[in-house]
Chain A
Amino acid sequence: MRKDQTLGEYLQSQGVSRRGFLKFCSATASLMALPPSAVAQVAEALATARRPSVIWLSFQECTGCTESLTRSHAPTVESLIFDAISLDYHHTLQAASGHGAEAAREAAMEENEGEYILVVDGSIPVGNKAYSTIAGISNYDMLVEAASKAFAIVAVGTCAAFGGIPHANPNPTGAVSVSDIVTGKPIINVSGCPPIPVVITGVLAHFLTFGTIPELDAQGRPAAFFGQNIHDRCYRRPFYERGQFAETFDDEGARKGWCLYKLGCKGPTTYNACATLKWNAGTSFPIQSGHGCIGCSEPNFWDKGSFYNPISAGMWGSRDALLGAAAAGAALGVGSAIAARARKKKAQAAEEA
């Protein structure tokens, strides 16, 4: 796709019919969690949309987010979206490497200054910036520079959005999130470990279509995908209401598909679209497969106690500490009783004298 072409022109030049284009728009609207009535609007916007430049930086990460993205379940639509954007730099997916690749990044940044979208996956170590570098440039420096010239930043994955696993206790590298470093630019957090692939493309599609920042929730996540918690959309919810819980992973309740609350499901405190969009081409999602939600799209999910602890169990400390408090209370009780008696005896003695 040439840069001066609109998406409509591009698709036409690829031999995509108007029907194909409308189908693409319906799927894209569905992808963006827009109501079907918005398809006409999407079609109009997409027909005249110009390709945004995207620079994708991978920092302290496991590549799981990119893996998730490349396994997203709508390859035709997604590849069209990727054709439609100009992915100018992604060091995992691009063929170029070394100085050539870095030069391409610099060039794209210059050429699209103030207009490109910066996608970041992975956290940024600030304990010692040398913990993670690309072509000799620390993640921190690269982020600060790339962010300063970007139109907006998409933090893909819980690491980029909230620090994620690198940030978990004891955080040896001093890992922080994008929003801990970058200020003054819109940041869209697409959290999840990894995020649902269609959510990543949905956000890119939103840029492509409308050229604007989608509505965000309190944590900076697109409200269309993160507006509701898993528990509210979970198909096992009726069992929760009836108080039918699986007690172990292989009991009668587990086989009957009962609620996983007792097995540590974090659905009630987790905001994501897994319960509706699902994973693996809409096949299933963790709860449907019999495992509770681990809350991977929430900040500090790794440090909130065991994945198998029920939410309501709380982290109340240890029994020993409670016994200690009891012992201290007993000591004080005995002490004050003895003191009271001593006072009384003294008073009696004084009276008798």
Chain B
Amino acid sequence: MTLLEFASGPGLQWALWIFVFGVVWRLIGALFLLARKDLSKPRRHNSVAAGLGAIWSRSTPAHAFEKRILFQHVTGYAWHFALFISVLFFAPHILFFESVLGFGWPHLPNTIVMVTAIIATAVLITLLIRRATHPVQRFISNADDYISIVVVLIPLVTGILAFAHVGGRYETLLALHLLSVEVMLIWFPFGKLMHAIMTMPARYQAGTAFGRRGVKA
């Protein structure tokens, strides 16, 4: 079995199984936390508005900190946006999603995706360096942060190399790209990458809980 055969066969299968298993496990666990009854008397009834309000307020910089966190804020959005475009609108990726999900969607030309992929990589490397050098960021970072960044960074780099055919034969680069994605999928449910699924519901939940107590989230 060649590296590519392993990466696109059993490797991919196991990674997907572990990914789905882990994500569902953690989600169900989190949902059960909600099932507890809150016995207090609600101060405010419109919890949906409070939840949505929290999603919005936490997605924009708080006025008081605006200047201090501007860099973080802009790079954060740039990174996520560029990543989404690269992952979701590259034609070969869509073919993969289509084979798993059963439906596809329109793609962007390769050149555009290449630009976003390079932007995403550059921003992520900048953020990684900043995390490792900025005293406060360093202090609040643990191994999970670094692992999560690296397992996302490697697929990006191998993907760009495979696309550009530099640094090795295409099959090898493609196999490395797949393997690195598989590592990322396996890590995903158990580390901070899970935020991709948890963030918005968590903000919503925090908003409703705070709203019920009449606290601004």
Chain A nearest Cβ from B156, distance in angstroms: 16
Interface status of A311 (Cβ within 8 A of chain B): yes
Q: Among A262, A269, A313, A329, which residue has its beta carbon within 8 angstroms of that of B28?
A: A329
Interface string of B35-71 (1 = CB under 8 A from A): 0000000000000000000000000000000000000
Interface string of A250-283 (1 = CB under 8 A from B): 0000000000011000001100000000000000
Determine the interface band of chain A, counting residues with CB < 8 A from chain B: 35 or more
In the complex with contacts A245-B91, A326-B21, A333-B8 CB distance below 8 A: no
Interface status of A68 (Cβ within 8 A of chain B): no
A residues within 8 A CB of B108?
Answer: 243
B residues within 8 A CB of A79?
Answer: none
In the complex with contacts A245-B91, A310-B95, A329-B20, A240-B28 CB distance below 8 A: no
User: Judging by beta carbons under 8 Å apart, are A262 and B109 in contact?
Assistant: no
User: Judging by beta carbons under 8 Å apart, are B13 and A262 in contact?
Assistant: no
B residues within 8 A CB of A304?
Answer: 5
In the complex, chain B residues 84-143 whose Cβ is within 8 Å of any chain A Cβ: 91-93, 95-96, 98-100, 102, 107-111
Interface status of A289 (Cβ within 8 A of chain B): no
B residues within 8 A CB of A325?
Answer: 16-18, 20-21, 24
What's the dominant secondary structure at chain A's contact region?
Answer: helix
Q: Among B2, B16, B25, which residue has its beta carbon within 8 angstroms of that of A333?
A: B25
Number of CB contacts from chain A to chain B under 8 A: 117
Interface status of B174 (Cβ within 8 A of chain A): yes
Which of these binds chain B: A1-9, A31-39, A315-323? A315-323
Q: Among A268, A311, A316, A341, which residue has its beta carbon within 8 angstroms of that of B12?
A: A316
User: In the bound complex, how far is the Cα of B173 from the Cα of A35, in angstroms?
Assistant: 30
In the complex with contacts A261-B92, A313-B95, A330-B25 CB distance below 8 A: yes
A residues within 8 A CB of B27?
Answer: 333
Interface status of B210 (Cβ within 8 A of chain A): no
Question: Please, which residue of chain A has its CB at the minimum distance from the CB of B13?
Answer: A317
User: In the bound complex, how far is the Cα of B118 from the Cα of A208, in angstroms?
Assistant: 50
In the complex with contacts A312-B96, A315-B12, A329-B23 CB distance below 8 A: yes
Interface status of A242 (Cβ within 8 A of chain B): yes
Chain B nearest Cβ from A194, distance in angstroms: 22
* A interface residues, Cβ below 8 angstroms from B: 229, 231-232, 240-243, 245, 261-262, 268-269, 299-300, 304, 309-317, 319, 321-322, 324-330, 332-334, 336-337, 340-341
- A sample of 17 more A-B contacts (CB under 8 A), given A262-B91, A268-B170, A317-B16, is A229-B170, A241-B111, A242-B110, A243-B109, A261-B95, A269-B174, A300-B5, A312-B96, A313-B95, A314-B178, A315-B9, A321-B13, A321-B17, A326-B20, A332-B21, A334-B32, A336-B25
11 residue pairs A–B, Cβ–Cβ below 8 Å = A242-B110, A262-B91, A262-B95, A312-B92, A313-B96, A314-B8, A314-B12, A325-B24, A328-B21, A329-B28, A334-B32
